[in-house]
C-alpha cells in the first residue's frame, strides 16, 4: 500500500485518461479549480465554458463527473507565462492613451481593450 498524497493533477489525469483510480474528493480538487486548470487547453474551452455557466449551482462532484464524461481524451495542458516585453509595451500604450485622452488608468485600459478587439 503506497502512502503517496493525491493532488488535483491526479484527478485531472483521471479525467483525461478516463480512469477511476481514486474516488473524487472535493477538498483536494474543487470544481472551480478543475475548471481553471482544464481551461488552459483550447480544445477543452467550449466544454469548460458550458460548465462555467452552471458551476455555482451544481455540486463539485457533478462538475468532476461532467468533465470525466465530456473531455474527449488526453491533451497536453499548456500553462503560459507572461511576456515581460509585451507587458512593458502595454503599459506604455496605456500611459500614451492616458496622456492623449486625459483619462484614468482604468479608462485607458478599457479603451485599449476595445481597440484590440476591433
pLDDT tens digits for range 55-92: 999 999 999 999 999 998 888 887 766 778 888 999 99
Three-state helix/strand/coil letters over the chain = CCCCCCCHHHHHHHHHHCCCCCCCCCCCCCHHHHHHHHCCCCCCHHHHHHHHHHHHHCCHHHHHHHHHHHCCCCCCCCCCCCCHHHHHHHHHHHHHHHHHHCCCHHHHHHHHHHHHHC
The pTM (predicted TM-score) of the whole model is 0.64
Segments making up each domain of the chain, as ranges = 8-70, 84-117
Q: How far apart are the first and last CA of the chain?
A: 58
Is 1's pLDDT higher than 60? no
Amino acid at each position: 500500500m503506497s502512502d503517496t498524497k493525491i493532488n488535483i493533477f491526479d484527478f485531472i489525469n483521471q479525467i483525461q485518461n478516463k480512469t477511476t483510480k481514486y474516488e473524487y474528493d472535493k477538498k483536494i480538487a474543487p470544481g472551480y479549480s478543475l475548471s481553471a486548470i482544464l481551461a488552459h487547453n483550447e480544445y477543452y474551452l467550449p466544454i469548460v465554458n458550458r460548465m462555467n455557466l452552471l458551476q455555482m449551482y451544481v455540486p463539485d462532484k457533478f462538475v468532476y463527473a461532467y468533465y470525466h464524461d465530456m473531455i474527449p481524451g488526453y491533451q497536453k495542458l499548456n500553462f503560459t507565462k507572461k511576456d515581460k516585453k509585451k507587458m512593458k509595451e502595454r503599459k506604455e500604450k496605456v500611459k500614451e492613451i492616458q496622456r492623449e485622452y486625459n483619462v484614468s488608468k482604468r479608462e485607458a485600459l478599457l479603451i485599449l481593450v476595445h481597440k484590440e478587439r476591433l
